[in-house]
Structure 1
Amino acid sequence: MEKNLHIVTGNKGFVGINLSKYFKEKNKKIIGVSRKPDLNEVDYNQLDKKMLDGAKSFIHLAGKAHDLKKTSEDSEYFKVNTELTKTLFNQFLESECEVFIYVSSVKAVADEVDGFLTEETTPNPITVYGKSKLAAENYILSKKIPKNKRVYILRPCMVHGPFNKGNLNLLYTFVSKGVPYPFGKFENKRSFVSVDNLCFIVDELIENNKISSGVYNIADDESLSTNQLVLIIGEVVNKKAKILNLPKTFVKLIAKLGDVLPLPIDSEKVQKLTENYEVSNLKIKTAMQKNLPLSAEKGLKKTIASF
């Protein structure tokens, strides 16, 4: 009989909540794994072989996110992102569970991208977050995968969806309050991935046993500039978006002031909003032989409408 049980760590996080909802709509049963389990969840320490044997897939979403305030200890990233992943992957290998999906990040490869990021790009993470994710990837890739199992490492770019936080909220605040977006001079291209497309891919990997184990970048089909994004937000909130073309040198000067004074922008925010970061999804699209359900623009409109 086909197994219909799926184990999900980090099920209370933004992606986890959306994936759980997506799976329920597909009549898939879930066991959530959490450090503080609710009624229908289990603690990491309670996860045993019997539970894994009864599951078709094990989706590992849990991790320590990139801390922009830089208050976290480096060891904490390796404890959560690397060591926990090793433990869970070992449990998977010893069980009868078929599919293991580790949700890593493009940040395990590069913090800045020249051209397109592909799976062939040699990883060189700068942050401890990226290094801890890459260490987990390397551990998974170092193990021999039994014939009856499939193992996928997913590297999503910036994931967005209804009610998530991040730089989209900052842009939304700019536009909805009628504040002009001041970085119009910066021409950039960025990849995003809607949580709907990510859930679709995860489901496809579980169901399609013809997709080979391996590392896959996850992104929407189209890249967008931040200026385009500002215009899309204006369209959704029904306000004419204002874009200012301030000189780049002036913007960078204000950002430097924001590094030491409590201003709404600082160097990191300007970098995030204006950098190029394009990610190729060609490998996963070729493997699935299917189109993604949402275009980049449609996915972003859905997210923005939820704010």
Structure 2
Amino acid sequence: MQILLTGASGFVGSGLIVPLLEQHHSITAAVRVFKTDLDPRVKQSIVSGLSAEQDWQMLLKDQNSVIHLAARVHVMSDPSTDPLAEYRRVNVEGTLNLARQAAAAGVKRFIFISSIKVNGESTTTGTPYTADGPTTPTDPYGISKKEAEQGLRALASETGMEVVIIRPVLVYGPGVRANFLSMMRWLYKGLPLPFGAINNRRSLVALDNLVDLIVTCTEHPAAANQTFLVSDGEDLSTTMLLRRMATALGKPARLLPVPSVLLETGATALGRRALAQRLCSSLQVDISKTRELLGWTPPSSVDQALRKTGKYFLELQTQ
């Protein structure tokens, strides 16, 4: 199968290339600059960016599928005067421009990597988000992803091109950055952390599990025109995640049992309320549709994935 992959040099894209090649797919990677670290079996094609004006015709010729990972990603402190307009320009207009040209070129399937933020920011413990349930995004990134999904579904109805939408939760694995990397650094240094009494539940997804689902969706007939949620299948409290990550790193977890309400109050006073809410709130997803419709099971357990992530982190510390 001939596949056009956008976002090939990103965290998920770079982890997806070898599994696709192992399934004997031929990959064309759309990149903004040539990447010397991409697998040499991947054909790289330079594009100016993800916009409504980008001409994709030459790249889409003879492609069977598109896996669309490229996006304007969620950022904590957006400097834009109109963040929603910027997200829409890339994530909605740019995505739909690519999809329209893909349909016109005869591409059979368009796989769109969306975000759980389309569903919302948090759940009541024990009441997870579902793939076909209500969607209530609250930030510009989540809104733009929802609007892109809506446009893709309309395009699928108009053209017959199959659209598959995947909404991951927080993705972790070797090379993870942002808050997950900070968490590993804290644990590695042995810092006492005030997160020993958080009784929330959060779904996470290991990079290997997300990649496996994407590869499954490239050809599975039941994936056509469906939306899927994806996780590791085991939800953890922040406290339990820290303990199990510390075990993976071979370090003690020095966690102080500070009540969540005090954490949120203190964080608000320090201007870090959003971070505290993510640490203390729940966000669970129900992946039963993904399991049942595709016959899919996450191939890696949480502990296997944490050990792999921790091993990569520790190797970097010795370089």
Fold in common (TM above 0.5)? yes
> Residue in 2 aligned with 1:118?
130
2:147 to 131, 135, 140: 135
Q: Please give the alpha-carbon distance, in whole angstroms, between the structure 2 residues aligned to 1:244 and 1:95.
A: 58
Q: Where does residue 10 of structure 2 map in the other structure?
A: 13
**Unaligned stretches of 5+ residues in structure 1:** 260-265
The percentage of aligned residue pairs carrying the same residue is 28
Cα 1:121/1:178, change in 2 over 3 Å? same
1:36 equivalent to 2:36? Answer no
- Match of 2:110, SS state, is strand
1:234 maps to 2:246: yes
1:51 & 1:32 partners in 2: Cα distance?
9
Is the counterpart of residue 105 in structure 1 residue 102 in structure 2?
Answer: no
Q: Tell me which of 188, 195, 202 is aligned to 2:207.
A: 195
Contact 1:154 1:218 in 2 (8 A): yes
Contact 1:220 1:295 in 2 (8 A): yes
Tell me, in whole angstroms, the C-alpha distance in 2 between the residues paired with 1:269 and 1:76. Answer: 23
Write the letter of the residue equivalent to 1:56: N
Structure 1 residues 71 and 217, CA, compared in 2 at 3 Å: closer, same or farther? same
Q: Distance in 2 between matches of 1:40 and 1:211?
A: 27
Amino acid aligned to 2:307: K
C-alpha displacement at 1:190, in angstroms?
0.5
CA root-mean-square deviation:
2.0
Give the letter for the 1:36 counterpart. V
Give the counterpart letter for 2:75 in structure 1.
Answer: D
Output one character per residue of 1:233-252: Cα deviation in whole Å (capped at 9) or x when no partner. 22122122111112444323
Cα contact 1:223–1:296 (8 A) shared by 2? no
Give 1:47's match in structure 2, choosing from 56, 70, 75. 56
Give the corresponding residue for 1:274: 280
Q: Aligned with 1:81: secondary structure?
A: helix
- Indicate if the aligned counterparts of 1:145 and 1:151 stay in contact, CA closer than 8 A: no
Q: Shift in Å at residue 296 of structure 1?
A: 2.4
Shift of 1:46: 5.2
Report the residue type matching 2:242 in the other structure.
Answer: V
Is 1:84 matched up with 2:81?
A: no
Secondary structure at the residue paired with 2:155?
coil
Structure 2: runs of 5 or more not aligned: 36-42, 49-53, 314-319
**1:211–1:242 Cα change, 3 Å:** same
Question: Secondary structure of 1:116's partner?
Answer: coil
Larger mean CA deviation between 143-152 and 105-114 belongs to 143-152
Match in the other structure for 1:62: 70
Query: Partners of 2:261 and 2:162 in 1: how far apart?
Result: 50
Distance 1:64 1:144, change over 3 A: closer
Q: Tell me, yes or no, if the aligned pair for 2:155 and 2:161 is still in contact at 8 Å.
A: no
What is the Cα deviation at residue 272 of structure 1?
Answer: 1.5
The alignment partner of 1:30 has SS state of strand
Q: 2:233 aligns with which of 196, 221, 224?
A: 221
SS of residue in 2 equivalent to 1:142: helix
For the pair 1:301 / 2:307, whether they are aligned, the reply is yes
Change in Cα spacing, 1:258 to 1:34, as seen in structure 2 (3 Å) is: same
